[in-house]
Amino acid sequence: QVQLVESGGGLVQPGGSLRLSCAASGRTLSSVTMGWFRQAPGKERDFVAAINFWIGRTTYADSVKGRFTISRNNAKNTVYLQMDSLKPEDTAVYYCAASQALTVSDGGRYDYWGQGTQVTVSS
């Protein structure tokens, strides 16, 4: 069992930055991939970024490449999402997820999910 808790969301102006954190607890050694997804009201859940927790290989959605950076601190069992140059279309609830598989973008193959943290980009 793995528990995930996101934090760091909030309100930011376009062009601003936020850093999201996802703290994992429980049997975290069984999780290989950690990812971030987001969902805006009335829209489908979208893949944002993922990282192999042990190797560090990263994958990004095209919409966030060059603006977002995913990273992790193995000792703290924490994954981060640094979001720069934020746009209004980035507004969504951001979810952290963990998978026992090597999949990165398919949310249906993640085993554990956090409760989400709201990110609002508005002037």
* Tens-place pLDDT, residues 78-89: 999 999 999 999
User: What tokens does 113 get?
Assistant: 């999910």
DSSP 29: G
Q: Partners of 118 in the beta sheet?
A: 93
* Tens-place pLDDT, residues 16-66: 999 999 999 987 767 789 999 999 999 999 999 999 988 899 999 999 999
Contact 58, 82 (CB under 8 A): no
Average pLDDT (115-122) is: 97
Q: Rounded mean pLDDT of the chain?
A: 94
Name the residue type at position 56: G
Q: What is the CA radius of gyration of the chain?
A: 13
State the pLDDT at residue 34: 93
